[in-house]
Structure 1
Amino acid sequence: MDTYDPPRPKALPIDLCAAIDAAVNAAHAGAAVLQSYAHHRADLVIDRKARNDLVSQADREAEAVIIEELRARAPGFAIVAEETGGQADGAATWYIDPLDGTTNFLHDIPHYAVSIALVARAGAQVSAQQALAEDTPVVGVIYDPNREELFTAAHGLGAWLNGRRIAVSRTPSIDDAVLATGFPFRDFSFAGQYMPMLHDAINRSRGVRRMGAAALDLAWTACGRYDGYWEMGLAPWDVAAGAVIVREAGGVCWDMHRQDPWPIGGRLVAGNPRVGQALYDMVAPHLRK
């Protein structure tokens, strides 16, 4: 006798608008914690995780507030956070950096940000018509509390700065480009690959900047302040939000080895399409397999 197997309910698409709203609220809440410590940095308890890898109670408290907000407003997603860890799971996972630019923050350099992203797994529905072919950052929020600049993006919906649509630069070549980068600062194992890249960039571009906050480097690339950006030795939470913001602003953001669908391994090249490709062509010969 045949048994009846009822059809399984189809998973609903991820509500990107609700997710971005939750991330914006969480970013503001986390930034409020950071700024409450901004004028009392001498009183911060600072721990050293590794050489040049610092964490303070500002990082930890901001992360706790962000997680609380996300769990309240967007339950059901896994969480991977810089200080408390976690594992990707289910249809989508939040990636949280509560304070990108910790060294800047601790030295009273007003260039740091909160970075929050939602990364959806391959097969996840982001609309009634579209399932993702590969793992993809689908929501990105980067908030700079010093300039009060809020960068946001959602997959297929564009990128925005304080509610104004943004786009990558139109600079046609690397010769006319201002590039951003990050120097090796805690993991020096790739310095031999990186230094020739920096040498080439200095000699070929209009200028190279190193500001010390990867999330803002990506956000500034998305809005055209930088034409291209490359860095090595980052973490997934450093780059997840910036990846979707750059892409939705019309740019490219690639894993430096062109193996992963987004730069989860922390080595990336980003920029407007022309400069991004030229930058990739410049750094690729120096990469070890």
Structure 2
Amino acid sequence: MSFIPPLALLLERWLGYPPRLTDAIGHPVIWIGRFITFMEKGVDKRERTPSQRRDAGIFTLGLLLLVTLVVALMVQQLLRSLPFGWVLEILVATPFLAQKELGRAVEAVATALRTSLEAGRESVSHIVGRDPQALDEAGAARAAIETLAESTSDGVVAPWFWLVVFGLPGIALYKAINTADSMIGHMNERYRDYGWAAAKLDDLVNWLPARLTAILVIAACFITPHASPSKAWAAARRDASKHESPNAGWPEAAFAGALGFKLGGPRSYDGELVDLPSFGDGKSALVGSDILRALVLYRSTLNVLLGLSVVVALLVWVA
């Protein structure tokens, strides 16, 4: 049914994934993560050569995707055989989207910063991998906004995109790839070889959604107070390619330009200062209220995405 994607967006944005459900049965991302951890313990042996470890990573990813595809196809076939099974298909698709939880987690940082810097650091530590104790208020605010921008792409737009293209198997496979990348797709000594396939495939499946996200952010500027579509477009074109990821720079630069912020720059990971490029040419001394401005743009972007989803559904239905 062509209207499953917009209805899934609406339902997930309204309800999210209930914490009680997570406590009772877990979450699809948790299940995927456990499978990846189980496979890593079994096949990623340190004494293997780099080539062997890369092959082990390819095997892990391939098996993960095969299992995910089989389960998703079986669930989809079962649901479509039931009366009003499309309603259940919407419910099954919603956990793979992250609109509500992403907004809640980022807003929590703004709320915590109003209490104290320590509270802000604690809150931001739940959504970023950098050292929270090395962050001042501006650093914590930038970290929250950068996470919001990047996750708008890989937590919302990309899973929606693959739901539209390939249905329930598409969104499930995307989430499996993205989870694998977040767990093992790192360029450090431990995962450089074993996580190579996960990182490369994640880059591939996010290539178009990341650029679509930037376009959606630019469009959202027209309905967001004090947001500039022209500056968002200019920053995305100028700065997106600076990012070490071929995709993450697009939404991050678009957010920075739209809001007149300067995001990115040096940050600390495990006590080591990493000099990263900047996105946008606005103010970098951000505060908690700037996170709230970014959230307004985020919610406008979700509205534009919902509108696009309805248009796509109507076109498919008419065709």
Higher strand share: 1
TM-score scaled to structure 2, two decimals?
0.29
Structure with the larger RCO, 1 or 2 (CA within 8 Å, 6+ apart): 2
Q: Which has the higher helix share?
A: 2
Instruction: Output the TM-score relative to the length of structure 1.
Output: 0.31
